Structure formats: C-alpha cells, structure tokens
Amino acid sequence: MAVDLRVIEGEYLQDLLDQPQALENTFKSLDRSKELLDLASRLHRRKFQRIVLTGMGSSFHALHPLNLQLIGHGFTAIMVETSELIHYKTRFFDPKTLIVAVSQSGQSVEMLRLAEVNGKRSSVIAVTNTPESPLGKHATAALYTQAGREFSVSCKTYVTALMALKWLGDILCERDVRQSRRELKPASGAVDAYLANWKEDVYRLAERLDRIRHLFLVGRGASLAAVGTGALIVKESDHFHAEGMSSAAFRHGPLEMLSEETLVVVFSGDDRTRNLNHRLLADIQQEGGRAELVGEGAALDCFRLADHSSSVRPIYEILPIQMITLALAARAGREPGKFALATKVTTTE
C-alpha cells in the first residue's frame, strides 16, 4: 500500500520533531532548589514513611522508572493514579507521605482535587510544564519542564517529564549530580539522530502494519513507561485500538489473540529480564504470530535502539511507537493527533 505522507505533516509531527530541542531546554534548566534538597534531607532522615507517585495518562506511566529507582534505593514507593488517590486512598494524605505529582498542565481536574483533598497535610513535589498552574502553586517544591506549547498528544511533555523525573530520583537518592548530568546530556542528540530518518521509518512501518487490527505493546521494568504511554498515544493519535501490558501478563490470556491481524511489539528492556522478553518474542513467532522487538537487536531499523544508559533508555523507547502513530495515520489517510472528543486538559471527572 502506497502512503502519502503529506496528510501527517501537521502540528503533531512538528511536536515530535521538536522533542530534541525540548529535551535540551529542559536539561539546561535542571537545578537543585533549596526546597528539593530539604525534602531529600528529610527523606533520608526517615521523616517520610512512604513516597506516593501519582499522575494520569502518560504522566502516570512516566513514573515507572522513578518508582523502580526509589524502591531499589530502599524507599517505600507506591504508584497510584490520581483519580484513585483522591477518592479511595485518602489515608495517604498525611505528614508521613511525600507525594510526587506529575501533570503537564498542572490543572487537570484530578490535580485540582488533589490540592483540595490534601490541603497541606502531605509535602508535594510537582513535575509540570506549567509553573503558574494550580499544581505548581500548591507544591512544596517543583521541577519545571521546558517542553513549550504542545498541540495535542503528549510527546514533548512526556520525554521532558522522564528527564525531570530521572533528575528528581537522583536528588532524592543523593546521587552525584555531575554524574546525573553526564548521563542525561546525550538524550537530546540521541533523539535527534533517531528522528532524522522519520520518513523512511514511517514508510517501512506502514508496510509492516498491513492487515494489522490488534496491537499489543509489552515489556517489563522501566519499559512499562513506553508500553503504557505507547498504547495510549496510538489510541489518541489514530483512533486505533492498542493495549499495553507487561510481557508476563501477555502470557496470561492475551496470547490467544495471536493471528495474522495481531502485532505484538516486545520491548527488549534491560539485562535483568531481557532473556525473558526475547523468549516471549521467539514463542510468539514459533506459534506463527507476528511480533517485532524494540531494542539493540531489533530486526527493523526503526525499532533498533542504540545501547544507552538506564537514564536515557526510557526516553528513547517511546520513539518507535511515535513512528507507529504516524504510519497508522498515513495508512488511514488522516491527520494524526487531532482530537475529536478528548481535550488537551481533562476538566471533568
């Protein structure tokens, strides 16, 4: 099927291509405010019993790498969607809880409710693209991304939030920030190098997606950020159904969905569970299913990622799925990322 890329050359594509600059701007703005250092000190003096990580949509999924980092450091960290936190888990709102709240707008209905329910009981660290938002004003401390204006689907705000959250994790875990900067600095260049071939990638993926009706994205560990966000942006951008789940969960039932109309995108991930993910890929292909790997050993160029540190990998992993959103839109002959029912900021519970 020949595709015409002119239909996808709109504001969403421009946002994707602007991601390197957004990352560079955010990298330059990263700092250690007195308020952040004070909260990190209190955390290490055991003044907080738990860290609650909260957000909605891609802001929630972006918290997976930070959650693992904090748990690996010995803290009790819990991921909770804000919609659940404010209605069903209000007991977490107390002085022994440190909340990390992520919202690109800082003014979604759930973040407004969080400020209302919390009052000043829990200390709140905000990660947002909007400093003057209700969340920014409510927070005890904040990290501000520099994504700029975004048309619709979260892309610049997502990758810059990942960068800010990695920086935040290093502050809370009292890592050497000079090392943190060395690890994060390549992010902008790596994303820029990947996006340089976007047209070729979209043409190739448009061919690979022929006859596909069901899309599964699966992975483990920090890759759950790309898995969850990837499925979300495919639905938002293309009105195409996609599911994101752990690689293990895919074996518990969805394996029955394998057919010529199903594509499973398996994220290779880090060393700890890479062999398990590769085994799932092989098992799917052995059963005659259609599957592709995202990682260093991927068969498709657009899914092949350079071997980056754990600091940059979550940022890099979302890029192939962004290319899928463009390819699906090109195949359908529609502009991607153009909302028909949703809005950029969710204002209704």
| Predicted confidence (pLDDT) per residue in 55-108, tens digit | 999 999 999 999 999 999 999 999 999 999 999 999 999 999 999 999 999 999
d(CA 326, CA 164): 26
pLDDT lower than 50: segments of the chain: none
* pLDDT at residue 341 in the model: 84
What CATH number should be reported for the domain holding residue 117?
3.40.50.10490
Together in a domain, 153 and 34: yes
Together in a domain, 57 and 130: yes
In 3D, which of 159, 175, 128 has the Cα closest to residue 17? Answer: 159
Q: Domain residues for 306? A: 197-332
Together in a domain, 326 and 250: yes
Together in a domain, 290 and 167: no
With respect to residue 294, please indicate whether it lies within any of the assigned structural domains. Answer: yes
Together in a domain, 130 and 208: no
Together in a domain, 61 and 153: yes
Together in a domain, 226 and 97: no
Together in a domain, 96 and 236: no
Collapsing DSSP to helix, strand or coil, 77 comes out as strand
* pLDDT at residue 1 in the model: 66
Together in a domain, 162 and 221: no
* pLDDT at residue 342 in the model: 83
